[in-house]
Structures are given as structure tokens and as C-alpha cells.
């Protein structure tokens, strides 16, 4: 895959006053037009009343709380679903819903969402109300089954709606038809947080807290869960989401997070007091997700629900062990996938839309595998594993410019018999089809991708914020950038580029390229590292490199120094 560096466009006149020129340039390239968009206080959050169905949801929940009804929260088996479940249970119990429990489908036994089978399991607990979190918008049959069993259903979700909406008592989803909420990027846990805000306001109107002797909860205490789920689900960090994530991170740094999150940091060997958004996505979330991938996400939810630090640590260690097992499985699957790709290249050119299937692949790890292969090939990838008898389940990951759920929708329209079910986002989706139809689907997928992308679209583009002056390559600027986020999907962490003299290079840890670089014409050199990069094929006489890098702070024995985390490096002929 060819990689190219492309600099981000930024307005010639940067409107942000009292901001360092480097950071001002970065913000302008991310379409920040005013200082107001950089404010991260809770009073800047979009109002909950803009969400369609929020009043009906609040009334439904308030009625259940006042009548002391049985409530079961039905979650999803990923980090967004786990944090949503924990938030709903914690908030509802704090507001007086004593008979609140949760249920999360085992992905291997029940699959995704509120299915009729999960409704039957939930019915054993005799709930009056089912609440879906991070799922439900496509659960037409499941909601129908719940209604038939005498259970009311509140759907809270953020996934795209299909042609038919479930007949729930209330639906809250910023992406449902007719919703006017200005941010369509809330994660499932963000939607759940807004629903709890609306419920608290409704109970306050009813004088519930004063008459029942219950202390009105401060919902901000659970923003650590909101931040974790939002980052883990890789939703775009628009201004509203940046507020939620920033506030949650501030609480984690201050030691005010739930014991489970603190324990997950500890087992990972990281300090929660120094956390940033990337740590939530690459340190905490994988350990939490490991439960849903390999076993049962109930383990992860229990870790987030317990207030006992010792129990939290015990559960966090179990999650850490599962994550280690997940890594081993993933490596084995990557080797098998690469063998398949070599064979595909040998027989023909790689398709633009890549579909991979191996009967022995683990259903819980195919999403990670698809993401890894997508990053390597820079083309949409769907990895499949065996599901129920005669079926295979796929996890899709896309590239910018291709809405993967729309692609699956088009395939379903052109080949009505092919897909048994599907759903998802622009960049990720899931689907089920018959194993015998894999080859037919693979061809249909490639054909549909070719309607939207060409070979020229498949270059790996590294978007750069331009060059950094050598005097800006320092700890102070690195810390300023680090604290200028939160950075993430849709608001990417700054990457810079430039040419450097290569002073020194060596391989460390068997697969990482450690370098000492110097800007041409300057005396001071700086340390740099390119992870998972070897230099075996470099010209031995190369003395200059082109690099795209992030500016970072290295702390060693109490001393801070600036270093470059190199995203892309290639030797240049002197």
C-alpha cells in the first residue's frame, strides 16, 4: 500500500485569539471557528430536550421509578454497551429504582440486540420495563415479543435506523427519523446519559427526591463511564462529545472514577492521573472489550458496577488475562489472513472490497482482525467467522469516503436473498449470511465497493498539520498539544511532517525503529521512534528521511524530554 503525506487545509486568517500559533493552526484545520467551540464546561452541552422522544422516555421511567417496578437494562457486548449498562443501572438505582438489573446477550448464544430469544430470558425476571442501551433501533421482532409478553420497552440507541422502527413505548436515538438533536455523534452511553438527565429533571418536577427522602444524584459523577464508552466506540468527537470526554477524563485524573476503571488502569501499568483520550481507547477499552469478545460482557459490567476496590481489582485482573488470550488468538488469525491474502494476490489482483473467512476463526475477534487488515491494505475489509449452524457472521471496517452500512444496504437491495441481517455505522458494521453464500457475497461486496471507490482512492493518506519550527519541538508545546484535545475520531491528534537528517538509527524491542533526527541546518537533535517499523530494506547510505510524526513527551527517571512518535518514515537519497 502506498502512503502519501497530505497537509490539511487551514484558513489563511485564523480567528482564534489568545491561542498559541501552533494550536491555533491545528484548530483551524479542524474547522474550529470560534473560541466557544473550545469550551468544555458542562453548561455548554446541548440541551436534552432537543432529542426526539426524550419526554416520553422520562415519563415512562419516572412512572416505573415511582411505582417501584422491575426494570431490566439490555445492553450490548462491547465497551459502549458495557458503560451504557453500568451507567443506566447506577443512575436508576440512585434515583430510587431499587429493582433495576441488567442483562447482556452472550454474542455466541444470542447475537446482537434485543432478540425474541433475549426477551424470553429477560421474561424470567418478570420485568415491567425493558430498557435497551446501545441497541434496539433494529429490534423490531424483539420489541414485538416484549409487547406480547406484557413488558413495556424503552429503546435508547445511536445506530442508524432501518426502514421499520420497533413499536416501543418510547425511542431515544439522535439518528432516528425526525430527530432535531444537533449532534448525531452521541455514543450509546451518551444517549443513556441524556436520558438519565431527562429522568432526573422529571423526578425533580414531581418532587420525587424530597418526598421520598432520596438525595438527588449528581450525574456528572458517572462521566468517567461516558468518556470511556464514547472514546471506545470511536464516534466522532464533535464539540458536544469533546465536552463529555473532557469532563470524564478530568474526573479520572482527579481519582474520582469508579473503582473498576481505576483498577483497569492499574493492571495495565498506567497512571489514571495522567490519562488522555487515547489511553481510554487503547489501554482500558481493549481489556473491557475482551470479556465480550471471548466470554460474557457481564464480567466487564460487574467491574464497572462494583464499589469495592478489591473486587474491582480481582475482576480487572480477569479482564486483563482475557485480553492477553485475545492477543494470542488475534495473532494466529492475522497469520492465517495474510496467507489468504497472499493466495488472493497470486491468483489475481486483490479486490477493492476484501472479504475473508476461515472456519476456525473466533467470532469475537473478527472485528479487530478486519480493522488490522483494513489499516494494512487501506481498503474496506469484512472478516467472517462461523455463527449458528449454516451461518457466518461478519464484522466490517471501512475507509474514509465509503459508508459501509450503506454499501450493505445496497447489496441487500440488489441481492435480496443474500443478507440475513445487517446493521452498523459509516465506518463499522455487522452482518449475517449463509456460509454457502460467502463467495457470492464476496463478489457482490467488491462490485459495490467499486461503484464508490477506485484504485486511486486506496492510497494510505497521512494527513499532516504541516511543519513544526525547530524551536516548537519542545516539552512545553508537546504538553500544550496534548492538553488541547481531547483528540480522537473526527478531531484527530495533530500530526506534523518534515525532512530530517538521520543522525542515528537502531532496532529496539526487535521491531521498533529508534532514531535520532536533526532538522537540517540546526544543531539540536531529537529522539524519535517508529513502532513496528524495520529498516532492513533501507539503502545503507541514506542520511536523510521524510517523517510524519506526533510530538510527545517522554518521561524517564523524573526527567521530561520531547520526542517524536513517527507515524510514517521513509529514507531519502541525499
User: Residue 13: its pLDDT value, please?
Assistant: 62
Is the pLDDT score of 97 beyond 80?
A: yes
Report all structural domains of the chain as residue ranges with CATH numbers, in order of start. Answer: 45-319 (3.90.1640.30), 349-458 (3.10.310.30), 462-572 (2.40.50.460)
pLDDT in tens, 99-116: 999 998 876 667 678 999
Task: List the grid coordinates of 485.
Answer: 484535545
Cβ 518 vs Cβ 525: under 8 Å: yes
3-class DSSP state of 293:
helix
**Lowest-pLDDT choice from 8-12, 381-385, 468-472, 519-523:** 8-12
Cβ 146 vs Cβ 169: under 8 Å: no
pLDDT in tens, 17-69: 788 999 999 999 999 988 899 999 999 999 999 999 999 999 999 999 999 99
**Lowest-pLDDT choice from 130-139, 451-460, 563-572:** 451-460
Mean pLDDT throughout 400-421?
A: 92
User: Residue 455: its pLDDT value, please?
Assistant: 74
Q: Which of 400, 404, 395 is nearest to 445 (CA)?
A: 404
Spell out the long-range contacts of 300-303 with Cβ–Cβ below 8 A and sequence spacing 24 or more: 300/79, 300/82, 301/75, 301/82, 301/85, 301/86, 301/89, 301/102, 301/104, 303/260, 303/263, 303/264
Strands 559-572 and 525-530: parallel
C-alpha R_g of the chain: 25
For residue 155, report the phi and psi dihedrals to the nearest 5 degrees: -95, 120
384 pairs with which residues across the strands? 357, 394
User: Residue 38: its pLDDT value, please?
Assistant: 93
pLDDT in tens, 437-448: 999 999 999 999
Q: Is the dihedral of CA 221, 222, 223, 227 positive or negative?
A: positive
Task: List the grid coordinates of 27.
Answer: 484548530
pLDDT in tens, 454-474: 777 777 889 999 999 989 999
Is the pLDDT score of 140 beyond 80?
A: yes
**Lowest-pLDDT choice from 99-113, 248-262, 540-554:** 99-113
pLDDT in tens, 289-322: 999 888 889 999 999 999 999 999 999 999 999 9
Global pTM reads: 0.91
Amino acid at each position: 500500500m502506498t502512503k502519501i503525506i497530505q497537509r490539511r487545509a487551514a484558513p489563511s486568517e485564523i480567528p482564534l485569539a489568545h491561542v498559541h500559533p501552533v494550536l491555533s493552526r491545528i484548530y483551524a484545520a479542524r474547522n474550529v471557528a470560534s473560541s466557544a467551540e473550545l469550551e468544555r464546561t458542562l453548561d455548554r452541552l446541548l440541551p436534552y430536550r432537543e432529542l426526539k422522544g426524550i419526554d416520553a422516555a422520562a415519563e415512562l421511567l419516572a412512572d416505573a421509578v415511582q411505582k417501584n417496578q422491575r426494570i431490566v437494562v439490555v445492553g450490548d457486548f462491547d465497551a459502549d454497551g458495557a458503560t451504557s449498562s453500568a451507567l443506566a443501572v447506577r443512575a436508576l438505582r440512585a434515583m430510587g429504582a431499587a429493582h433495576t438489573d441488567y442483562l447482556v446477550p452472550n454474542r455466541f448464544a444470542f447475537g446482537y440486540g434485543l432478540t425474541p430469544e433475549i426477551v424470553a430470558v429477560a421474561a424470567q425476571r418478570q420485568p415491567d420495563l425493558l430498557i435497551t442501551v446501545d441497541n434496539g433501533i433494529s429490534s423490531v421482532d424483539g420489541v414485538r415479543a416484549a409487547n406480547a409478553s406484557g413488558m413495556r420497552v424503552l429503546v435508547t440507541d445511536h445506530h442508524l435506523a432501518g426502514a421499520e422502527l420497533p413499536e416501543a413505548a418510547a425511542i431515544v436515538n439522535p439518528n432516528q427519523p425526525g430527530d432535531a438533536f444537533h449532534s448525531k455523534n452521541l455514543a450509546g452511553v451518551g444517549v443513556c446519559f441524556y436520558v438519565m438527565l431527562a429522568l432526573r429533571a422529571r423526578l425533580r418536577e414531581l418532587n420525587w427526591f424530597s418526598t421520598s427522602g432520596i438525595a438527588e444524584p449528581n450525574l456528572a459523577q458517572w462521566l468517567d463511564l461516558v468518556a470511556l464508552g464514547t472514546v471506545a466506540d470511536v464516534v466522532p468527537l464533535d464539540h458536544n462529545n469533546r465536552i463529555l470526554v473532557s469532563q470524564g477524563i478530568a474526573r479520572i485524573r482527579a481519582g474520582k472514577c469508579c473503582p473498576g476503571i481505576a483498577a483497569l488502569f492499574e493492571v495495565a501499568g498506567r497512571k489514571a492521573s495522567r490519562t488522555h483520550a487515547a489511553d481510554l481507547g487503547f489501554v482500558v477499552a481493549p481489556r473491557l472489550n475482551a470479556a465480550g469478545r471471548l466470554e460474557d460482557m457481564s464480567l466487564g459490567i460487574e467491574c464497572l458496577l462494583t464499589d469495592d476496590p478489591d473486587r474491582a481489582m480481582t475482576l480487572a485482573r480477569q479482564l486483563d488475562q482475557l485480553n492477553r488470550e485475545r492477543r494470542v488468538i488475534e495473532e494466529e488469525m492475522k497469520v492465517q489472513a495474510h496467507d489468504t491474502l497472499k493466495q488472493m494476490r497470486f491468483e489475481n489482483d486483490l479486490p477493492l472490497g476484501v472479504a475473508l473467512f476461515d472456519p476456525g476463526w473466533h467470532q469475537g475477534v473478527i472485528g479487530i482482525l478486519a480493522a488490522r487488515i483494513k489499516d494494512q491494505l487501506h481498503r474496506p475489509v469484512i472478516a467472517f467467522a462461523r455463527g449458528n449452524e449454516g451461518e457466518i457472521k461478519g464484522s466490517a471496517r471501512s475507509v474514509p469516503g465509503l459508508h459501509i452500512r450503506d454499501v450493505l444496504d445496497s447489496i441487500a437491495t440488489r441481492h435480496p436473498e443474500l443478507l440475513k441481517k445487517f446493521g452498523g455505522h459509516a465506518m463499522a458494521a455487522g452482518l449475517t449470511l449463509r456460509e454457502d453464500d460467502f463467495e457470492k457475497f464476496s463478489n457482490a461486496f467488491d462490485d459495490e465497493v467499486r461503484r464508490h471507490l477506485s484504485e486511486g482512492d486506496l492510497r494510505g493518506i497521512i494527513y499532516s498539520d504541516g511543519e513544526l519550527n525547530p524551536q516548537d519541538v519542545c516539552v512545553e508545546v508537546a504538553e500544550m498539544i496534548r492538553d488541547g484535545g481531547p483528540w480522537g475520531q473526527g478531531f484527530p491528534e495533530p500530526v506534523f511532517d518534515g525532512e530530517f537528517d538521520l543522525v542515528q538509527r537502531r532496532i529496539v524491542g526487535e521491531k521498533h525503529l529508534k532514531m535520532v533526527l536533526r532538522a537540517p541546518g540546526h544543531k539540536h537533535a531529537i529522539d524519535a521512534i517508529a513502532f513496528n517499523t524495520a529498516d532492513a530494506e533501507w539503502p545503507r547510505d541514506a542520511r536523510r528521511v521524510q517523517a510524519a510524526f506526533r510530538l510527545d513527551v517522554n518521561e524517564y527517571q523524573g526527567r521530561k524530554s520531547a520526542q517524536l512518535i513517527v507515524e510514517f518514515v521513509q529514507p531519502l537519497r541525499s
